[in-house]
Structure 1
Amino acid sequence: MKRSIKINKESSRRDLLKMAGGCAALTNTSLLSTMLNLSATNSAVAQTSGLTGYKALVCVFLFGGNDSYNMLTPMTPSEHAEYLTARGGDYSAGNGALGIPASEMAATTITDSSSGRQFGIHPSMPEVKTLFDQGKATFLANVGSLVEPTTRAQYDSQANLPLGLFSHSDLQQHWMTSVPQSRSQVTGWAGRMADMMTDTVNTNPAISMNMSLDNVNLLQTGGSVVPYVVTENGAQEVGWYGPTWTQAKIFSQLTDEVLARSYGNLMEKTFAQMNRTALDAAISFNGAVDQVTGVDEYFPGTLSGLQRKLRMVAKSIGAHETIGQTRQIFFVGVGGWDNHDELIATQQANLAEVSKALKTFQDAIDGLGLTNDVVTFTASDFARTLNSNGKGSDHAWGGNQIIMGGPVTGGRIHGQYPLSLASGTTLDLGRGRLLPTTSVDEMSAELAMWYGVANDSSMEHVLPNIRNFHAAGSTYPIGFLS
């Protein structure tokens, strides 16, 4: 299928020439991201050698702040009673309460094999329950952006805290940069990781090892690497380039002529060469993913937006050898999580979409024979207040995330799920805003170590604050991966 932008069919030869010789290859993000990668002047700060096999990381970012204590809820009777009190009671009472009764989570209850505690996965997420039971999904509890391990006393004294706590833009940036003490950081931890690796693991400089199904994002942006942006249907090509009908043939011929022209000006010559490479990269990328078989069968019927994006991720993973990559990082954004109003109904629909999409994606990865080579993880700005505002919940801090794939250490909850969600605990900063007990840095470091970054000075470049949380060496910070 042609992924293209269109130009008017009534365009004259002069118009076509203007398009071909002007900004034709700059009219979409797939081609522009190729050109940005080709024009990068910053060299990688380090090289990672000895990487073998294939590995991919997939980030599903829930923009707006997922109310994740309804996604993973304590079910031990005394703990659940405290949870209901904190949430204002059972939501079915119709009084603005946000608590989910235990009876609704009977079918999605799991047991943490480490502590014996029981938890309820949101009732709209039976697929995630299945993945947990299969050992292919786990949860990381009460994780959030931190500069250093932080106590309640340090929080009260405002000592070395992330900037702009409880702000969407700040916390999204902190998740992506892992430098929460700064608003001026212009690279993300996955981008810095790609800077170190790209010469070793990517034989196709026209297509970044970091791919985004949304747009250019800070997480994947490095000093020399920017994400290659594609749509749910693939890389966007230049309209009219390639088809065999008359005007398209004229346009294609003119484009080829302009890009092959001998330019005396170095800038014009370089620009033409980059346009040529970018155009060809989009075509070759689409050709590679179109040849992947055994993915569409896992995405039947009417698909959600997230399923369509993850289907393209699965095809890109299946095409990694043809594309020329042994390491890939994908970013998929999902909006709609800032639920100050109508939380219960909105979150039920949102979590159902995530659950179905994660299961179909994992099934597709299994079908490709890459179960142990792909790790998917969720991220979100922050969790939300346990206390209700009357209709929904407000901005908070520490929350729970899903980690999925063959390498996960299943059957248990990782991190430190609060022993009590009652108000007034040392973790409660007011209204059920919970102080994180696990840092985003620890989560990111474990993902990076599995991906191939050595836990030495290389890790310190990827995650500048990591030594505040985890010493150098070969041991994983948390243990959610094996």
Structure 2
Amino acid sequence: MKKSAPDLTRREFLGQASCAGVGATALFSTLLSLRLANSLAAQSAPPTSDYKALVCLFLSGGNDSFNMLVPTTSGEYDAYARIRGNLALPATSLLQITPGNMGGRTLGIHPAMTEVQSLFNAGNLSFVSNVGSLVRPTTLAEYKTGRNRPVSLYSHDDQIKQWQTCMPDKRTAIGWGGRAADILQSLNKDSLVSMNISLAGQNAFLRGEQAFTYSVGSGGATALTGYNPLSVNNLTAVRSAAVDSMLVADYRSLFEKSYAGSTVDAVETYYEFTSALTGITLATPTPTGNSLANNLAMIAKIASANGKLGAKRQVFFVQIGGWDHHDDVVTKQQTMLATVSQALGFFWSALGDVGLRNNVTLFTASDFARTLTSNGNGSDHAWGGNHLAMGGAVAGGNVFGNKAQGYYPDFQNIATIDTGQGRLIPGVAVDEYARDLLTWFGITKADLDYVLPAFSSRFDTREPLGIMTAPYTPPPSSSSSSSSGGTQSGGGGGGGGSMGGLATGAAGAALILKMIADRKARIKAEESRTS
């Protein structure tokens, strides 16, 4: 029969962990005690009044977004139907909207997105039209000569990276969400958990020069295979799976001290995260069978724990794949856009449950849009596409975009931006889209050069799109840190919640200390025999 360790308070856990003096584990024990002591106060802290969160919803594969948002003004719909052919949606099926900033032009939302229409009409959501990766503002003539083309245009891998990094003319692994965290991480100085949290594993968007990604699942922090200190009978499995996989290589090297620190970080981060979320529930039921809604539910819970986590800023990444519709696009989009719409409707209600509608802004991104022309019964890789932003701080009920294009391309006059087969040159750069979001989030104009390296030299003369109701100005006490500053507070490293299943009692604390001591003794013995 399995025996569970008795539950202890965090203070009791700290006391017992700090008393464990197992030989060379003194460093581990001391660091654990000091770091946990520093975060005790945060566990009972109320939500911060200056809290902000960005949520990137990535539609992986390339969403056919000109069927998500369709022109319906007289003449424009006819042109759309003619160009799209058998991919065109019937005018009578579209969910009609009249954007507040388009001078009476009308559009239609995909018929599967009823929740999105409601959010738009209520002023809680807006669209951003014809957005894509741009080296600089580009004409069709320049495109034809090969000038100003993003690296490997129309390639999934490259366009995903360019959307997530805002570096269209070179390859980099550092994203604009990560660079924003590099700047603002000092606001979360009391937090052990990274400012950047992914529900879709590692990605370029959240990776910074100093900031790292904490990865969790819809059920919370993820577990390490073989590590379950709640089970007294699991000692052999613990040693074979957890210790052998994580400790042996590290303790053979000169990086013993560094390893101890990273292990402490993982333990602390898991405890901090799990403790902060304990007892948090949402009044709104999660839609059955909607995995995106499950992930957004976890984001709502994490955001609501911002006070306990000591977080004034958080950036989230969530993804839904399967948008590469080279065939059967109309049928497949019907199901997938319904899933997205239902999840967004749920998320809005959940944010209301936790009182954070004005503090959280969700925005969509995707590899690229798709060709307006049909390849038979699907569409192929293209360029500029349509996106949405949702939140209480969003200037809702509008469609933002290139002003010269009337904010949404006129399908009667797209020849000047069509590179072929309905691949439209973006009227809005990803950098511009990001600039509006980041300004609200607290990135100053001076820091934009770091977060969006190409912006000031290529797009700075363009006016803000106006997505957010007002730019956000950080209070004097929350000045941003230099991008070359110290490392980010928060443990866990790139792997996120890697110490899942950590016991909150004496058995768990003693076990992990014993594991490290035992492994070190065995390695030293092996080295003595071979020397």
Q: TM-score, normalising length from structure 2? A: 0.73
Work out whether residues 196 and 314 of structure 2, in 8 Å CA contact, stay in contact via their aligned partners in 1.
yes
Q: Secondary structure at the match of 2:97?
A: strand
Work out the CA distance in 2 between the residues paired with 1:424 and 1:292.
50
- 1:188 alignment partner in structure 2: 175
Equivalent position of 1:401 in the other structure? 387
Instruction: Determine the structure 2 residue equivalent to 1:312.
Output: 298
Partner of 1:155: 143
Match of 2:277 among 267, 289, 300: 289
What's the CA shift string for 1:53-76, capped at 9, x where partnerless? 000000000011000000000011
Question: CA-to-partner distance for each residue in 1:134-171, whole Å, 9 max, x for gaps?
Answer: 11100000011101111111111111221111111111
Q: CA deviation at 1:238?
A: 3.6
1:83 and 2:80 matched: yes
Which of 338, 352, 359 is the equivalent residue of 1:352?
338
Q: Would the aligned equivalents of 2:137 and 2:459 in 1 still touch at CA under 8 Å?
A: no
Shift of 1:246: 2.8
Deviation larger for 423-432 or 213-222:
423-432
Specify the code of the residue in structure 1 equivalent to 2:385. Answer: G
Q: 2:123 aligns with which of 116, 127, 135?
A: 135
Runs of 5+ in structure 1 lacking a partner? 1-20, 22-37, 39-50, 89-96
| Cα deviation, residue 199, structure 1 | 2.2
1:199 pairs, out of 186, 191, 201, with: 186
Name the residue aligned to 2:261.
273
Amino acid across the alignment from 2:200: D
Q: Shift in Å at residue 470 of structure 1?
A: 4.2
Instruction: For 2:353, give the aligned amino acid.
Output: G
Say yes or no: does 1:326 pair with 2:336: no
Q: Pick from 48, 68, 73: which aligns with 1:71?
A: 68
Residue of structure 2 equivalent to 1:480: 467
Structure 2 matches for 1:336-375, cutoff 5 A? Answer: 336-375=322-361
Matched residues in 2 for 1:478 and 1:324: separation? 32
Report what 2:51 is aligned to. 54
Tell me, which stretches of 5 or more residues in structure 2 are unaligned? 1-21, 23-34, 36-47, 470-531
Whole-angstrom CA distance in 1 between matches of 2:187 and 2:175: 20
Taking the aligned partners of 2:414 and 2:215, their CA distance within structure 1 comes to 45
| Distance in structure 1 (CA, Å) of the matches to 2:117 and 2:227 | 47
Cα distance, 1:301–1:76 mapped onto 2, change above 3 Å: closer
- State the secondary structure of the residue aligned to 1:198: helix
Please provide the CA RMSD for this pair: 2.6
Q: Quote the Cα distance in structure 1 between the aligned partners of 2:418 and 2:226.
A: 59
Matches within 5 A, 1:297-308: 297-308=283-294
Conserved in 2, the CA contact under 8 Å of 1:202 and 1:209? no
Residues 421 and 432, structure 1, Cα contact 8 Å, conserved in 2: no
Q: In 2 relative to 1, CA 447–303 (structure 1 residues): closer, same or farther, beyond 3 Å?
A: same
Instruction: State whether residues 56 and 327 of structure 1, in contact with CA within 8 Å, keep that contact through their aligned partners in structure 2.
Output: yes
CA contact (8 A) 2:54 2:361 kept: yes
Q: CA deviation at 1:280?
A: 3.0
- How is 1:454-469 mapped onto 2 (pairs within 5 angstroms)? 454-456=444-446, 458-469=447-458
Following superposition, the deviation at residue 252 of structure 1 comes to: 8.2
Q: Match of 1:135, SS?
A: coil
3-state DSSP of counterpart to 2:87: coil
Matches within 5 A, 1:403-442: 403-416=389-402, 417-422=407-412, 425-442=415-432
Give the distance between the partners of 1:82 and 1:344, measured in 2 at CA: 18
Q: 2:215, 2:232 → 1: CA distance?
A: 30
Give runs of aligned pairs for residues 129-278 of structure 1, distance below 5 A: 129-183=117-171, 185-205=172-192, 207-238=193-224, 244-248=230-234, 267-278=255-266
Give CA-to-partner distance per residue, 1:403-457, whole Å, 9 cap, x none: 000011112211134442248610111111111111100011111110001012x
Matched residue type, 1:102: A
Match for 1:227: what amino acid? T
Identify the residue that residue 521 of structure 2 maps to in structure 1: none
How far 1:242 sits from its partner (Å)? 5.9
Report the Cα offset of residue 245 of structure 1: 4.1
Is 1:111 the counterpart of 2:101? The answer is no
- Shift in Å at residue 250 of structure 1? 8.4
Distance in 2 of aligned mates of 1:432 and 1:462: 32
The whole-number CA distance in structure 1 between the counterparts of 2:264 and 2:237 is: 14
Identity score, percent = 41
Aligned counterparts of 1:245 and 1:430: Cα–Cα separation in 2: 62
| Cα pair 1:442 1:469 within 8 Å, conserved | no
C-alpha separation in 2, matches of 1:269 and 1:328: 30
Give 1:113 deviation, angstroms: 1.6
Q: Structure 1: how far apart are the matches of 2:130 and 2:415?
A: 14
Q: 1:200 to 1:78 in 2, by over 3 A?
A: same
Counterpart amino acid of residue 52 in structure 2: K
Kindly indicate whether the alpha-carbon contact (under 8 Å) linking 2:221 and 2:274 is maintained by their aligned counterparts in 1.
yes
In 2: Cα distance, 1:448 partner to 1:162 partner: 23
Partner in structure 2 of residue 92 of structure 1: none
Q: CA deviation at 1:248?
A: 4.4
Kept in 2: contact 1:299–1:307 (CA 8 A): no
Letter in 2 for 1:132: F
Compute the displacement of 1:229 (Å): 0.5
Aligned residue number for residue 321 of structure 2: 335
- Partner of residue 512, structure 2: none
**Conserved in 1, the CA contact under 8 Å of 2:130 and 2:409?**
no
Give 1:270 deviation, angstroms. Answer: 2.7
CA contact (8 A) 1:85 1:422 kept: no
Structure 1 SS opposite 2:222: coil
Residues 1:360 and 1:393: Cα distance change in structure 2 (over 3 Å): same
Q: CA deviation at 1:241?
A: 5.1
Structure 2: distance between partners of 1:251 and 1:125: 48
SS in 2 for 1:87: helix
1:423–1:378 distance in 2 versus 1, CA, 3 Å: same
Describe the shift of the 1:251–1:170 C-alpha distance in structure 2 as closer, same or farther (beyond 3 A): closer
> CA offsets per residue over residues 201-222 of structure 1, 9 Å max, x none?
24224x2100000111001101
Structure of larger gyration radius: 2
